[in-house]
């Protein structure tokens, strides 16, 4: 029997790595993207070559209509959700516009809640399911000049802990991965000197890779993690 996974933000560095791992793990995939069409189409071509059933879904999850747009494009029961969306903003809290605030809150919290709410009944009826949210170490400890990002990621962590308790009797597991500094486009706003200082501050002395996050996703999807739920797994090379 086929099992279907939905990966949001599948066109980014971490999303691409997760998709490739889950394809290898035997999942058929719904790959969500918003702006990076070229990247996700390239990914689909790669997965087609290994006979992975893939569907591309386009939606802006930072808008109020985004979840409805996404759901209209899904035609199979989803057994696994990997919510991998985030907008980075580095700057003072007083410098953020109302639009930037609303977009980040909608993307990271409102859309996560509504999408999960809509797909959960199918999981409950199947009495199986797996939900994994990519959060951040800043959701654990907070970061100056990333106050809103820290706030919404902390909200995601609490969402995971609460939902895990609610759906565990239905055979559904809910966890989060809180990455540290990962070598993706999100770090492009930092200078080489900034990145050098960050690496020096990380006990392992380097940035993480998208593949290292994807490997934890594969573990959480597997039977090897069958008794793990409600957890925030920090993957940061010992940073913070």
* pLDDT one-digit tens code per residue, 99-116: 999 999 999 999 999 999
Q: Name the band, by pLDDT with cuts 50, 70 and 90, for residue 146.
A: very high
Report DSSP letters for 109-147, one per residue. IIHHHHHHHHHHHHHHHHT-EEEEEE--THHHH--TT-H
Mean pLDDT calculated for residue range 139-150? 95
What pLDDT is stored for residue 188 in this prediction? 81
Residue 32 or residue 190, greater confidence: 32
Q: Does 14 map to a domain? A: yes
pLDDT in tens, 33-74: 998 899 999 999 999 999 999 999 999 999 999 999 999 999
- % of the chain with per-residue pLDDT over 70: 100
pLDDT at residue 187 is higher than 90: no
Whether the pLDDT of residue 240 is over 90: the answer is: no
31 in a structural domain: yes
* Residue 26 is assigned to a structural domain of this protein: yes
User: Would 208 be classed as within a structural domain?
Assistant: yes
Query: What is the pLDDT averaged over residues 207-228?
Result: 97
> Which of the two residues, 186 and 132, has the higher pLDDT score?
132
Asked if residue 168 is part of any domain, the answer here is yes
Instruction: Determine whether 149 is an active site residue.
Output: yes
pLDDT recorded at residue 185:
83
Is there a domain that residue 240 lies in?
no
**CATH number, domain containing residue 38:** 3.40.50.720
* Active-site hit among 30, 33, 149, 227: 149
Residue 87: pLDDT over 90:
no
| 173 part of a folded domain | yes
Q: What is the mean pLDDT of residues 214-239?
A: 97
Query: What's the pLDDT at 230?
Result: 98
Residue listed under structure tokens 């070598």: 183
Average pLDDT (198-215) is 96
Number of folded domains that form the chain: 1
| Higher pLDDT pick, 112 / 1 | 112
What is d(CA 110, CA 116) in angstroms, rounded to the nearest whole number?
A: 10
pTM of the full structure: 0.95
Summarize the confidence of residues 4-22 as an average pLDDT.
Answer: 96
Whether residue 138 is contained in a domain is answered as yes
Q: 38: domain range?
A: 4-235
pLDDT for 168 equals 98
């Amino acid at each position: 029997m086929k099992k279907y996974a939905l990966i949001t933000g599948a066109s980014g560095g971490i999303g691409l790595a997760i998709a490739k791992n889950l394809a290898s793990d035997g999942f058929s995939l719904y790959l969500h993207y918003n702006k990076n069409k070229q990247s996700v189409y390239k990914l689909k071509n790669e997965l087609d070559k290994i006979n992975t059933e893939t569907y591309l879904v386009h939606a802006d999850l930072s808008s109020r209509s985004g979840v409805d747009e996404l759901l209209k494009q899904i035609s199979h029961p989803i057994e696994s959700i990997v919510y991998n969306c985030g907008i980075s903003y580095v700057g003072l809290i007083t410098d953020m516009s109302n639009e930037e605030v609303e977009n980040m809150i909608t993307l990271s919290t409102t859309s996560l809640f509504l999408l999960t709410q809509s797909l959960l009944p199918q999981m409950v009826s199947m009495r199986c399911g797996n939900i994994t949210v990519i959060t951040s170490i800043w959701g654990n400890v907070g970061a100056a000049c990333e106050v809103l990002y820290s706030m919404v990621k902390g909200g995601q962590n609490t969402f995971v802990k609460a939902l895990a308790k609610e759906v565990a009797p239905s055979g559904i597991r809910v966890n989060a991965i809180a990455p540290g500094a990962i070598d993706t486009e999100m770090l492009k706003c930092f200078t080489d000197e900034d990145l050098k200082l960050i690496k020096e501050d990380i006990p392992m002395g380097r940035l993480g890779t998208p593949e290292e996050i994807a490997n934890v996703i594969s573990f959480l999807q597997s039977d090897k993690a069958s008794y793990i739920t409600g957890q925030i797994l920090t993957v940061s090379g010992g940073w913070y």
